Amino acid sequence: MNLALMTTNAKTDAAARRGLKWLVAGVVLAVSATVALSAWAQPGPGGHHHGGDMAGPGMFMGGHGRGLDRMLDSVNATDAQRAQIKQIAQQAAVDLKAQHEQARALRERSLQIFTAPSVDATAAETVRKQLSDLHDASSRRMLQAMLQISSVLTPEQRAQIGQKIQQRREHMQQRMHEHAQQPKQ
């Protein structure tokens, strides 16, 4: 084989390897985005919902009695309202915990797929679809709980909660803006 042909083959092979690396990186990025979306719907470290809302999914994930109590205190909820709302939140927490565990197992399966010697695109798509379906089911369950809670609260109490959530969002946006303005070190 002559030197020119060997050089051309080496360049073609290197380009093919680079293309394959970019393809794998793109697939990993797509799955990571799906996993991130699923993770966003779950509370973060310390039980804080990534969206920053008082009435987000974290409220239903268990161990959030203080946050729920503070919310109910802020609208002067009656003892009867508190009992009903806590029951709704506890049942939602049970349901969402099961969904959270399913999502964790799917994320682990996704990692196995992408670290295998040969990536199975069909299996990856199946896991992506399952994660998407699970995220949709979690969203529906949270909406159901929020609608149940809204039927327990008065329109005035719901308006107060809405104002507090808006204030919290504005505060978080201000903090994010200030953080973005800080010089990088």
| Total Cβ atoms within 10 A of residue 163 | 11
pLDDT, tens digit, 9 for 90 and up, residues 155-173: 999 999 989 889 999 999 9
Helix axes 65-74, 79-115, angle to 10 degrees: 140
DSSP label at residue 44: -
pLDDT at 42: 38
Residues of the chain with pLDDT under 50: 20-57, 61-63
89 burial level (CB within 10 Å; 0-12, 13-18, 19+): buried
pLDDT at 67: 83
